[in-house]
Chain A
Amino acid sequence: MEKPFRRRDLLGIRDLNAAEIRGILDTAENFREINSREIKKVPTLRGKTVINLFFENSTRTRTSFEIAAKRLSADAVNISVSSSSVTKGETLVDTALNLDAMDPDCIVVRHGSAGVPHQLAKVSRAAIVNAGDGANEHPTQALLDAMTIREHKGRIDGLKVAIIGDILHSRVARSNIHLLTKLGATVKVAGPGTLVPHDFGYLVESGLMMCPHIEDAIEGADVVMILRIQRERQDSAYFPTLREYSIHYGLTTARLDLAQRDAIVLHPGPMNRGIEIASDVADSSRSLILDQVKYGVAVRMAVLYLSTGGSMGNA
Chain B
Amino acid sequence: MGDVEATLIEKSRIMDETRMERALSRLATEIVEANHGAENIYLVGIRRRGVPLAERLRDKIEANEGTRPIYGIIDITLYRDDLSTVGANPIVNRTELAEDIDGKCVVLVDDVLYTGRTIRAALDQLMDFGRPRRVQLAVLIDRGKEHRELPIQADFVGKVVPTKATEIIKVMLKEFDDIEAVGIFERPSE
A72 to B87, CA, bound (A): 20
**Minimum CB distance partner of B80 in chain A:** A44
- How many residues does chain B have at the interface if contact means C-beta atoms less than 8 Å apart? 24
A57 to B136, CA, bound (A): 51
Contact of B93 with A39 in the complex, beta carbons under 8 Å:
no
Compute the total of residue contacts between A and B using a CB distance below 8 Å. 61
Query: What residues of B have a CB within 8 angstroms of the CB of A310 in the complex?
Result: 83-84, 86-90
B176 within 8 A of A: no
Query: What residues of A have a CB within 8 angstroms of the CB of B89 in the complex?
Result: 4-6, 305-306, 309-310, 312
- How many residues does chain A have at the interface if contact means C-beta atoms less than 8 Å apart? 26
B92 within 8 A of A: yes
A34 to B78, CA, bound (A): 10
Contact of B84 with A37 in the complex, beta carbons under 8 Å:
no
A27 to B75, CA, bound (A): 13
In the complex, which of the residues B79, B91, B129 contacts A44, with contact meaning CB atoms closer than 8 Å?
Answer: B79
Query: What residues of B have a CB within 8 angstroms of the CB of A42 in the complex?
Result: 78-79, 125, 128
Which of chain B's residues 61-80 have a Cβ closer than 8 Å to chain A? Answer: 75, 77-80
Contact of A33 with B85 in the complex, beta carbons under 8 Å:
no
A30 within 8 A of B: yes
Which of chain A's residues 19-45 have a Cβ closer than 8 Å to chain B? Answer: 26-27, 29-31, 33-34, 37-39, 41-44
Classify the secondary structure of A's interface with B: loop
A41 to B129, CA, bound (A): 10
Given A41-B128, A42-B79, the answer on whether A311 and B95 have CB atoms closer than 8 Å is no
A4 to B88, CA, bound (A): 8
B94 within 8 A of A: yes
Chain B residues packing against A (C-beta within 8 Å): 75, 77-80, 83-96, 124-125, 128-130
Q: A26-B91, A44-B80 are in contact. List 16 more A-B contacts (CB 8 A).
A: A4-B91, A27-B91, A29-B94, A30-B75, A30-B92, A31-B92, A33-B95, A42-B78, A43-B79, A44-B79, A44-B83, A310-B89, A311-B84, A311-B85, A311-B86, A312-B88
The 6 closest A-B pairs by CB, nearest first: A42-B78, A44-B78, A310-B89, A30-B92, A30-B94, A39-B128
Chain A residues packing against B (C-beta within 8 Å): 1, 4-6, 26-27, 29-31, 33-34, 37-39, 41-44, 72, 302, 305-306, 309-312
Q: Would you give 28 A-B contacts (Cβ < 8 Å), ordered by A?
A: A4-B91, A6-B89, A27-B92, A29-B94, A30-B75, A30-B92, A31-B92, A33-B94, A38-B129, A39-B129, A43-B78, A43-B124, A44-B77, A44-B78, A44-B79, A44-B80, A44-B83, A72-B78, A305-B78, A305-B89, A309-B83, A309-B89, A310-B83, A310-B88, A311-B84, A311-B86, A311-B87, A312-B88
